[in-house]
């Protein structure tokens, strides 16, 4: 990192900082300009000490040069990580996987019916929420473990892997028992005990970017999971919060090439939550493929007007079916594949 | 709520929506304009069904008229809530309370020393983090229960109530055992299981607004705690995330009069995290008092350059002492009091 | 629009509002709920009076139902507008046009060379800045009219239409003299006198969305041009400002389907400014095509390291050439065409 | 500035950058770490060449160390600038000046009446908009020069200086003819030709921060005016755009101590536009004083419900009168004065 000294700092101020750097086992690189002196402190984990230098009165500011994450970084691992979800499903390779299903699991019939529909259309992973993070305590909170059983049964029947969200440390274990991927939601992306719990079990983990989390912070959250020994981490962009109110969130597709440059982890995109408006989900999904997504999450509901959660962003079965064909064309245009 | 029909909707579309409203036990109010028809659905908890109407193909959009929270609302309780923290400390009355201490508890000596300093300067509640939410897994994670013991001992010795953050359901119980106020941090403000756990115990709860959480969502998070039977809720604004990078966060002082209009709950402000730059904390603290804060959270560290967390935003003892006198003057100017 | 009365408003308060509505020539639609009364005021230009009702003490708030713009709205004109730029170039049809060239015109040779390169690669419109909006007064401010001459000569030689930015009312005339499209930049999108000047001349106008301008405000700015009688308006999304600092701006691709739903005007996207990082421009360009762009603006510079402005986001000639072929594949995948 | 080389850059890459630095007349400071090499280029105006280095393929990124503005910087001028507005009115000293009046000038009578009201309450400068930047072309656009005459007559009669906004280069001259301060609005803060025009005349200039403009950019806009020879510049914060929709804008009070640290220019705050809700303007005004404002802009209208613009944020005469007394108390508490 680079430590910029306050204007007019004296030789002894510079010496104090230099000594502190040496004391931590690094070599200070001092560059004196006419008005400003900067001191480089370069080496493994130097960024860990940013706070300690920023809090010194003689220091103007400290800027990071090296990334504060290691295991998530492409510097650490050059080739793309391919996450093995099940015998046939791997995320991060040439094939783009579509994860589809209802926002919330409501009944066994709804789950089974929807799973069948999305499989027929070409989806390869089934989703369904059993534990629902709802901003209002009066809204439907999900079926819990009963819902996971429905999801698990649907998966077994159709030979498809499944994904569902865990909101607490205990739910991580339950979701991992019934599902093939444990999802950590946007609202919990900096719930560090939850991240550690996800890192301590062995099922792949999908991390949804929070609505005001920077790319750097998302990779640091991934680092929490990776540092516990679980290397099967999938990142997911699902919309950030901006001043624009015409869409539910602003899907940040710019994040995809940036993350792929910084990290070896696969990236999945969620246009249903990202734009939050049914009629625009398909258009955004095409852009997601073009920008380099390794997978998509799309909400499908046989009767959205009866949905207990997020019905207005769920696709109808026929819309989803038509969309999958369109997406396959875009996938091929960018050298990927989606339908078999 | 107000349901706006799509342009060109037919009488039968309008009838379908009207029937659905009646089916839920409400009366539809239909207003036909030349181009657009709107349908009012007004009454308790009508907003709960927003999703169900938004997902209908014939509906253009739905706007909320009534607040989706009840217990947190000033419509529900006209007079200000005063939260009793200890025998002598009540938040929400004429007296403004200053909560002070180090960001993280590091050693027993540091905790006791700092507590003594802030008490002498006029602070009435001691803070100190034992469970620390750090964006990097490699940063200091806090002393845990041992830290809470140091905090508790400091409080007992000086006859001052204490506050510390809980990040998991289990930590809620531990923090409640050692402290007088349980803090829920900004990163966990939509961790609903944590909110419910905080609502099930009886110690006051301080809720920090997340960095991209609207005022409405903050009040809905408060509703989670209140709806479990714990009415001792204190709200806290600590900076939101914006495009501006000159400050760590953008402290949203505008939120104070808005919250006070919408809700009866007391509001505490955290200028240390809010602006994140030591030399500006005092200036912002004055503005916090002027805008109507019922309390302040200020980080103080005897040796900020040795701090393991957020040293660059912690005040030095002498700075804090001088600031408290300045704050008292502003408090008096707005009809409140701070020092005895 | 919908006027929501304050809770506890009395019959006479409601009567006052109703009378005011009648006085303006509209019919009030009153819906009384248990706690809240709402009053609909529906009809042409009703939204014009929003302020007048919001400033009444008895009114809680006013929400818009109808769009405040008319000529820019798809309600006003159902079919897509196709803007005729030159004999062979029309924006808004099946063909996607690529507008390419240097950020700033620097020398005649640089302009001619670049124009030749981009034409050979398949671009159909040449761009180049002669009047440059630079945040620092010490940065290169552009060649002015001399630059426009170079651009014009390049266009004539290669039989290609041209585009350049005007920053003042007088520059509108000069740019219109030398170029086929007058560009209004992001920083001037709410410079209303400039918009009116652009609307009073007859060359097509390209309007760049400002970095914190909502879609609604962009359409209102378009309305300024349209209302002066110039219907050849092209909208352009070039990145909005968010909390994310990893990219220069956050390109808002979500805006494309939303604008196309609300308006009949063509939409062009500028990935060079949008993401602002050379190596990611191509990836974003593909996403732009997939999301429905009618055109792209891409900066190309033969020697970016010598560029006087924005060199770090300009593509090298070979990169541009390769990209155009990739873009054509994506265009075909979404039913459009790009190369002949 | 600091140039960070790409990982794995070779000695010859480093040499190329070093040579380029030397060629520009600076001395390169090279620090080689294990993985990363950084090169310092420190000296006057080095930041001007940021672009040129960022666009090199071997460079990872470039970070600024020195400020890109000079004349606006406190490094250039240590003591506070005091802007002389009229014989008796100086902005930037101990006295806090309140600029008050209607949003838009509507009639002569309204202007004179309001001016009289605000003078009696203690305001020292009268405001009134004659050229109005309205997002809709169908909204009231202001009275133009006729309005300025009404404002000028009111000022002459009451011996008070006046301020009004100019939106074009020509209007700068007209406003300067009739008023004592020329205001550049938020929407034009990066309209550089307008800034230059304001810098070429001699009346003081008030610059309103745009809704997505950083503090650094605001100071660069000030630099445009200063560099033309007009040193009488007043900065104004009036709310930035964030995700929060409960207020019209989010007033960024954090900007005040930050600007005062970076610059010697006086800062005025506009709580009327900042929060945009009449009943909260007074509360925010108190916070503005506490945070260090050198002046306030407050909208007052004798009959807000008849206002042609922004009536819902204008104070009633009695509200304004009461507020001024409250503000004076806060001013005294922070060592300033407001009423005589």
**Which residues in chain A are contacts of D4 at CB distance < 8 A?**
65
Pairwise CA distance, residues C234 & C200, whole Å: 16
| Interchain proximity C258–A274, CB inside 8 Å | no
* Measured distance CA(C129)–CA(C114) in Å, rounded: 13
pLDDT of residue C38: 85
| Contact assignment for C34 to B40 by CB distance below 8 Å | no
Strand extents, DSSP E, chain A: 2-5, 28-32, 37-41, 59-63, 83-84, 90-91, 97-101, 125-127, 162-165, 181-184, 205-208, 233-237, 267-269, 295-299
Residues in Cβ contact with A228 at an 8 Å cutoff, skipping those fewer than 6 apart: A196, A198, A199, A200
Question: What is the rounded CA–CA span in Å between residue D247 and residue B258?
Answer: 8
Does the complex come out with an ipTM higher than 0.90?
yes
Assign D191 to helix, strand or coil. coil
pLDDT at C285: 98
Contact B128, B151 (CB under 8 A): yes
Q: How buried is D25 (Cβ within 10 angstroms: 0-12 exposed, 13-18 middle, 19+ buried)?
A: exposed
User: pLDDT value at position A110?
Assistant: 95
What is the rounded average pLDDT of the residues A159-175?
Answer: 97
> Which residues are paired to A167 by β-bridges?
none
How large a percentage of chain B has pLDDT more than 70? Answer: 100
Helices (H), C65-214: 108-121, 145-158, 169-178, 192-200
pLDDT of residue D49: 85
Residue C184: its chain D contacts at CB < 8 A?
A: none
Confidence check: pLDDT of C64 > 90: no
In this structure, the strands spanning D233-237 and A162-165 are unpaired
Phi, then psi, of A179 in degrees rounded to 5: -120, 165
- C66 contacts in B (CB within 8 Å)? 35-36
Residues of A with CB under 8 A from a CB of D: 2, 4, 7, 29, 31-36, 38, 40, 42-44, 63, 65-66, 75, 212, 241-243, 245
Determine the Cα–Cα distance for residues A331 and A324; give it in Å rounded to an integer.
10
C165: pLDDT confidence band, cut at 50, 70 and 90? very high
Beta bridge pairs of residue C234: C206
φ and ψ of B302, to 5 deg: -65, -30
Is residue D202 within 8 Å of residue D195, measured between CB atoms?
no
CA distance C301 to chain A (A): 22
What whole-number distance in Å separates Cα of residue C144 and Cα of residue B283?
A: 46
Which residues does D contribute to its contact with B (CB < 8 Å)?
A: 212, 214-216, 240, 242-247, 250-258, 261, 274-275, 277, 279-280, 283-284, 286-292, 326, 329-330, 332-334
How many contacts (CB atoms, under 8 Å) link B and C?
A: 59
Percentage of chain A modeled with pLDDT above 70 = 100
Q: B45: pLDDT confidence band, cut at 50, 70 and 90? A: confident
Q: What does D253-282 look like in DSSP terms, one character per residue? A: TTHHHHHHHHB-S-EEE-HHHHH--HHHHH
Q: B217-235 pLDDT, tens per residue? A: 999 999 999 999 999 999 9
More confident residue, B63 or D314: D314
* pLDDT computed for residue D52 by the predictor: 83
Q: Which pLDDT score is estimated for C198? A: 98
Most C-contacting residue of B40, B63, B66, B246 (CB-CB within 10 A), to test interface = B40
**In this structure, what DSSP letter does residue A240 have?**
B
Greatest CA span in chain B, whole angstroms?
76
Which residues in D lie closer than 8 A to residue C138 (C-beta atoms)? 45, 48, 68, 227
Q: Classify residue D339 as exposed, middle or buried by CB count within 10 Å of its CB (0-12, 13-18, 19+).
A: middle
Mean pLDDT of C170-185: 97
pLDDT of D65-94, one tens digit each? Answer: 778 899 999 989 999 999 999 999 999 999
Q: HSE (CB half, 13 Å, CA atoms) of D221?
A: 29
Give me B80's structure tokens: 């200000």
Q: Is beta strand C37-41 parallel, antiparallel or unpaired with respect to C28-32?
A: antiparallel
Distance from CA of B337 to the nearest CA of A (A): 31
Domains in chain B and their CATH numbers? 2-63 (3.30.70.1140), 83-333 (3.20.20.70)
The per-residue pLDDT for A140 is 84
Tokens 């421009």 — which residue?
C281
> Nearest by CB to C42, which of B29, B36, B42?
B36
First to last CA, chain A: 48
pLDDT for D28 equals: 87
* Both structure tokens of C250: 């956050």
CA distance D206 to D270: 12
The phi, psi pair for A76, rounded to 5°, reads -80, -35
Residue B309 reports pLDDT greater than 90: no
A interface mutation test: which of C242, C254, C257 has the most A CBs within 10 A?
C254
Tokens representing C120 are 């050979």
| Confidence label for C51 from pLDDT (cuts 50, 70 and 90) | confident
The model's pLDDT over C220-242, given as tens digits with 9 standing for 90+, comes to 999 999 999 999 999 999 999 99
pLDDT at A35 over 90: no
Give the pLDDT of residue B40: 84
Angstrom distance (rounded) from CA D67 to CA D73: 8
* CB-based contact B339:B98 (threshold 8 Å): no
Q: Over 80: is that where the pLDDT of A34 sits?
A: no
D134 or C127, which is more confident? C127
**Which strand (E) or helix (H) includes residue C181?**
strand C181-184
Query: Rounded CA gap, A157 and A153, in Å?
Result: 6
Q: Is B155 left (phi over 0), alpha (psi -120 to 50) or beta?
A: alpha
List all residues 6 or more positions away from A318 whose beta carbon is below 8 Å from its beta carbon: none
pLDDT band at A47 (very low <50, low <70, confident <90, very high): confident
Say yes or no to pLDDT of A9 above 90: no
- Pairing state between β D83-84 and D90-91: antiparallel
The answer to whether B148 and B164 have CB atoms below 8 angstroms apart is yes
The string of pLDDT tens digits covering residues A295-332 is 999 999 998 877 777 778 999 999 999 999 999 999 99
Ranges A113-122, A125-134, D41-50, D142-151: which has the least confidence:
D41-50
In which band, very low, low, confident or very high, does the pLDDT at B144 lie, cut at 50, 70 and 90? Answer: very high
Per-residue model confidence (pLDDT) at position D326: 98
Residue B31's pLDDT is 80
- The predicted structure's pLDDT at residue C168: 94
pLDDT for res C142: 94
Residue D27 in this model has a pLDDT that exceeds 90: no
- The per-residue pLDDT for range D261-282, each reduced to its tens digit, is 999 999 999 999 999 999 999 9
SS3 state of residue C191: coil
pLDDT value, residue D90:
98
CA D291 to centroid of chain Cα atoms: 16
- Average pLDDT rounded to a whole number, residues C2-17: 89
Chain B positions touching chain D (beta carbons under 8 Å): 212, 214-216, 240, 242-247, 250-258, 261, 274-275, 277, 279-280, 283-284, 286-292, 326, 329-330, 332-334
Lowest mean pLDDT among A235-239, C133-137, D38-42, D43-47: D43-47
pLDDT recorded at residue C140? 84
To which H or E segment does residue B62 belong?
A: strand B59-63
pLDDT value at residue C303: 87
Mean pLDDT of the B21-50 span: 82
Average pLDDT across chain C, whole number: 93
Mean pLDDT over D154-167 rounds to 98
Greatest C-alpha distance within chain C: 75
- The pLDDT-based confidence of C28 (bands split at 50, 70, 90) is confident
Q: How many CB atoms lie within 10 A of CB B15?
A: 12
DSSP state of D210: P
Q: Does residue C71 have a pLDDT over 90?
A: yes
Residue C34 and residue C50 in contact, taking contact as beta carbons nearer than 8 Å: no
A336: chain C residues, CB-CB within 8 Å: none
With CB atoms and an 8 Å threshold, state whether C307 touches D227: no
Cα separations (Å) of B197 from A168, B169, B225, B268, D297?
12, 6, 8, 22, 46
Report the pLDDT value the prediction gives residue C340, as an integer from 0 to 100: 83
pLDDT surpasses 80 at B35: no
**Residue B239 has what pLDDT?**
97
Structure tokens at D56: 């090199």
Per-residue pLDDT, D89: 97
- For D65, the closest of A32, A36, A42 (CB atoms) is A36
Comparing B260 with D52, the larger pLDDT belongs to B260
The three-class DSSP label of residue A220 is helix
* Nearest CA-CA distance, residue C90 and chain D, Å: 28
Q: How far apart are CA D198 and CA D176, in angstroms?
A: 9
Query: What would you report as the CA-atom Rg of chain D, rounded to the nearest whole angstrom?
Result: 23
Picking from B54-58, C16-20, D17-21, which range would have the lowest pLDDT averaged per residue? B54-58
Please list, residue by residue across D172-190, b when 16 or more beta carbons sit within 10 angstroms of its beta carbon and e when fewer do.
Answer: bebbbebbbbbbbbbbbbb
Sign of CA dihedral A171, A173, A179, A181: positive
Q: Is there a contact between C131 and C142 (Cβ–Cβ < 8 Å)?
A: yes
* Confidence band, pLDDT 50/70/90 cuts, at residue C304: confident
> What is the distance between the alpha carbons of residues B92 and B111, in angstroms, rounded to a whole number?
27
pLDDT at residue C321 tops 90: yes
In this predicted structure, what is the pLDDT of residue B127?
Answer: 98
Residue C37 in 3-state DSSP?
strand
In this complex, do A136 and B307 lie within 8 Å of one another by their Cβ atoms?
Answer: no
**Segment A44-52 mean pLDDT:** 81
Would the pLDDT of B25 be above 90?
Answer: no
Of D261, A5, D258, A61, nearest to B312 by C-alpha is A61
Average pLDDT estimate for A165-183: 97
**Are D105 and D141 within 8 A, CB to CB?**
no
Work out the pLDDT band at C324, boundaries 50, 70, 90. very high
pLDDT at position A24, please?
A: 87
Of C48, C51, C212, the CB nearest to D312: C51
Above 80 in pLDDT, residue A98? Answer: yes
| Residue keyed to tokens 């909101």 | A167
Which residues, including other chains, have CB under 8 Å from residue B282's CB and lie 6 or more apart? B315, B319, B323, B326
C-alpha distances (whole Å) from D54 to each of C18, C276, C309, D135 are: 61, 11, 11, 37
Query: Average pLDDT, stretch A13-37?
Result: 85
How far apart, in whole angstroms, are the C-alpha atoms of residue B250 and residue D255?
9
Give the whole-number percent of chain C exceeding pLDDT 70. 100
Strands, sheet with C28-32, edge to edge from the N-terminal-most edge strand: C28-32, C37-41, C2-5, C59-63
Among D258, D275, D292, the residue with its CB nearest the CB of B247 is: D258
Q: Coil, helix or strand for B56? A: coil
pLDDT in the model for residue C307: 76
Closest by CA position to C113, among listed C98, C123, C102, C97: C102
């Amino acid at each position: 990192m680079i430590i910029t000294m306050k204007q007019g700092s004296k030789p002894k101020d510079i010496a104090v900082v230099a000594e502190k750097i040496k004391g931590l086992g690094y070599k200070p690189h001092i560059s004196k300009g006419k008005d400003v002196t900067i001191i480089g402190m370069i080496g493994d984990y130097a960024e860990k000490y940013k706070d300690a230098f920023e809090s010194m009165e003689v220091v103007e500011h400290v800027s990071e040069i090296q990334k504060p994450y290691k295991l998530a970084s492409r510097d650490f691992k050059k080739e793309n990580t391919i996450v093995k979800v099940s015998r046939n499903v791997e995320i991060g390779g040439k094939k783009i996987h579509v994860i589809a299903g209802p926002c919330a699991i409501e009944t066994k019939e709804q789950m089974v019916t929807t799973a069948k529909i999305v499989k027929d259309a070409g989806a390869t992973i089934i989703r369904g929420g059993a534990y629902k993070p709802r901003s209002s305590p009066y809204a439907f909170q999900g079926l819990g473990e009963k819902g996971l059983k429905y999801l698990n049964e649907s998966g077994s029947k159709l030979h498809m892997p499944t994904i569902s969200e865990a909101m607490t440390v205990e739910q991580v274990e339950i979701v991992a028992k019934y599902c093939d991927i444990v999802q950590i939601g946007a609202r919990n992306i900096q719930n560090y005990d939850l991240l550690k719990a996800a890192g301590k079990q062995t099922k792949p983990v999908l991390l949804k970017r929070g609505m005001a989390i920077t790319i750097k912070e998302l990779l640091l959250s991934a680092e929490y999971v990776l540092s516990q020994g679980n290397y099967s981490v999938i990142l997911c962009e699902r919309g950030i919060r901006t001043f624009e109110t015409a869409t539910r969130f602003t899907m940040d597709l710019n994040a995809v090439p940036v993350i792929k440059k910084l990290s070896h982890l696969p990236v999945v995109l969620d246009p249903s939550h990202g734009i939050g408006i049914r009629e625009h989900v398909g258009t955004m999904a095409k852009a997601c493929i073009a920008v380099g997504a390794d997978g998509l999450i799309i909400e499908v509901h046989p009767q959205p007007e009866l949905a207990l959660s997020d019905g207005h962003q769920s696709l109808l079965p026929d819309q989803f079916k038509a969309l999958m064909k369109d997406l396959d064309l875009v996938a091929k245009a960018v050298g990927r594949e989606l339908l078999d």
